[in-house]
Each structure stands twice: as C-alpha cells, then as structure tokens.
Amino acid sequence: MNWYIRRTLQALLTVYGVITFTFVLIRIMPGGPMESMRAQLIQQHQGSLTTEDMERINRIVETRVNIDPDQPLYTQYVDYVSSVLTGDLGQSTWHQAPVMDLLIERLPWTIFLMGSSITLSFALGITLGAIMAYKEGTILDVGLSSYSTFMTSVPYYVVAVLLVYFLGYQWDYFPIQGRMAPQTTPGLNYPFLAGVAYHLVLPVISVVITGMGGRALAMRGNSVRVMGDDFIRVARLRGLKPRTIAIQYVGRNALLPMYTNLMLAVGFMFGGAIILEEIFGYRGLGQLMYSSIGNRDLPLMMGCFLLITMTVVIALFIADLTYGKLDPRVQSGERHESF
C-alpha cells in the first residue's frame, strides 16, 4: 500500500477514534455529561415535574448534545458521528448558541496569539542557537546556554503573572485584559490594529521568553552535531566560504529536526492557550474552554476538546507528509520510517 495512503488512513482513523471517545464520554459513562445536564435542567425547574416537563428536558438535552436517549445505542452513535462530521457540535448550555459558531468566532484570535508567539519563539531560538553553536566553548556560549536552560525550566504562566503584576498593575505600561482597545471598530483601520497589537505584547512575551530557550538549545545541539559530520569537513577542504558552509550546509541540516518540533508546537498551541488566555483575559478559544469547565457547559467543552485534538492530528499528519520533501535523505515509499 502506498505510504501516503497509509498515513492518511491512520490520521482519519485517529480522528474517528477521537469522535468515538467523545461519544463514550457523553453517553456511555455513568454520571456522564447527559446525566449532569439533565440534572441541571431539573434543578432549574421550579415546582414538580410533569411528564411533559421531562419530555421537554429530554428534547433540550438531545438538541444540545446531538443524542436522542430514546433511540437505540447504535442509532445514537451514527447520528452523533454524522452530526460531528457535518459540523454540528450541539448547542452551548451557557451561551445559548451553537457550539460551532462560538468556536469559529474565537478561533482566529487564538491562532493569531499563539501563531505570533510560536513564530517569534522559533525565530529567536534558532538565531540564538546558531550563535551559541558558532561560539561553542566561549563565555558567550556558556552564558547563553545557562540562560536558555534556566528559562526552559520556568513555566510560561509564571512569567505571564510577573508581567501582569509589574508591567500591568505596577507600572501600567501595557493592558492586562482584553484583546483590543475599547471604543474601536474592528476592521482594517489603525486604531483597531494598533490596539490588537498592544494587547498582544504581554501574552506573546511570556511565551517567547520561556519557549525560545528550549529551541535555542535544540538548534545548538543540532548545529554542533552537523559540524562534526564528514560532509562539513569535505566542504572545508574544497575551500568553500565559511558563510556558505554555515548557511547551506550547517544551517539547513540543523533546521530539519526543528521542523517536526514546530509542527508539534502548532498542534498543541490550543492547549497551551487555555491558561495564558485566562491570565490575560484574552477572549480566545482557550478562555472559552476554561469558562466551559467552570460553567459545566458540557457540549462546549466537548467541542473544544474535539477541535484541539483534531488540530494536533492534522499538524502531525502535515509534518509526516512534508518532512520527506524537506529532507531528501528520507525515503517516502514503503521503506519510509516515521521520525
């Protein structure tokens, strides 16, 4: 079987497994989301419940989780999978709106925040790591390596809290809540774009400061390893310029393993946004999922879980398919080995 077809089938089976897992959480497990939602609706009802009231509550539960409890189990499963594949994730119990609409509204903001953070983190980390490798053994290398090791061990939310306290509360340099300036009209206008960028500074800095250290150490290790390979010695013997060797030979080969790291970071960026967006009051997908847990908004919670998991699967799938194109040493056939 062709390698690309096999990888595609693996990704599709993983997505199918995630959808099946959410169905199990919603319907099969005792005391699961359906029972909890039904109990909430019963508790909200004033007075005794009639048969008509229970039927109405069951219809509400069915609408919000895309499952009809009166149908056979296999029918419930088919209906749920069909609804998810067509983009119908049920209705939020807290926001009283379709889950898909809420996800679409918040998703671009999280992509913008975490995409900017990951891009800057990799750019600075790769640059810093290349400098460390070029100055291997010097005081600069030791100092930067120590700094990178220390920052790698510091969680990003610790830095985020410190930035909020000092640059937000104490010195009032940057806003600590929201995602845009007040009284601005969203669109391609300077006040709106400037306000968005201004509110983005502290969250991005907290991720970049803690994230670029690990990328720098990885880039340094890759570069040092590549510089010891035989083809680098051959390039030097051929009299190639140091700049050519550094960019075309060392840099290119050292960057290849970083590509997989980048795709993993993209895949997991939504999970990392949960705490970050809550700290800064940034109304993105992460804060939406955090609030759904606090509000016991189970359909929204499941929708966020599905989206985050599928994003990870898609990112790894793209990395798996494209890595062989970037590295000619990797065979993309039946003998291809997963990295």
Mapped onto helix, strand or coil, the DSSP state of residue 98 is: strand
DSSP string of 290-331, one letter each residue:
HHHHHTT-HHHHHHHHHHHHHHHHHHHHHHHHHHHHH-TTS-
Banded pLDDT at 336 (limits 50, 70, 90): very low
CA-angle at 163, arms to 162 and 164, nearest 5°:
90
pLDDT score of 2: 76
pLDDT score of 166: 93
Nearest to 130 by CA among 243, 225, 219, 262: 219
pLDDT score of 68: 62
pLDDT 10s digits, 217-249: 998 888 888 887 787 788 878 888 877 777 777
- Spatial neighbors of 44 by CB under 8 A, at least 6 apart, are none
Give exposure, 216-230, as e/b (b: 16+ Cβ within 10 Å): bbbbbebbbebbeee
Distance CA 189, CA 317 (A): 37
Task: Tell me the residue length of the chain.
Answer: 339
DSSP string of 220-257, one letter each residue:
HHHHHHHHTSHHHHHHHHTT--HHHIIIIIIIHHHHHH
Mean pLDDT of 312-333: 70
Q: What is the dihedral of CA 260, 264, 265, 271, to 10 degrees?
A: 180
The percentage of residues in the chain with a pLDDT greater than 90, rounded to a whole number, is 16
The percentage of residues in the chain with a pLDDT greater than 70, rounded to a whole number, is 86
Mean pLDDT of 94-115: 89
Residue with tokens 């959480």: 25
The mean pLDDT of the chain is: 81
Residue 30 has pLDDT above 80, yes or no: no
pLDDT 10s digits, 284-321: 888 898 888 877 777 888 888 888 888 888 888 887 77
Distance CA 87, CA 100 (A): 7
Q: Where are the chain's structural domains?
A: 12-42+49-84, 110-283+317-326
Classify residue 201 by burial, with Cβ atoms within 10 Å: 0-12, 13-18, 19+. middle
Distance CA 47, CA 50 (A): 9
Q: Give me the helices (H) in the chain, please.
A: 3-23, 33-44, 51-65, 73-85, 99-134, 139-152, 156-163, 190-227, 230-237, 242-244, 252-267, 269-280, 285-294, 298-326
Residue 326 has pLDDT above 70, yes or no: no
Classify residue 231 by burial, with Cβ atoms within 10 Å: 0-12, 13-18, 19+. exposed
Give exposure, 9-44, as e/b (b: 16+ Cβ within 10 Å): eebeebbeebbeebbebbbeeeeebbeebbeebeee
**Residue 101 tokens, joined:** 């609409």
Question: What pTM was estimated for this model as a whole?
Answer: 0.79
Specify the CATH number for 110-283+317-326; select among 1.10.3720.10, 3.40.50.300, 3.30.70.100, 3.30.830.10: 1.10.3720.10
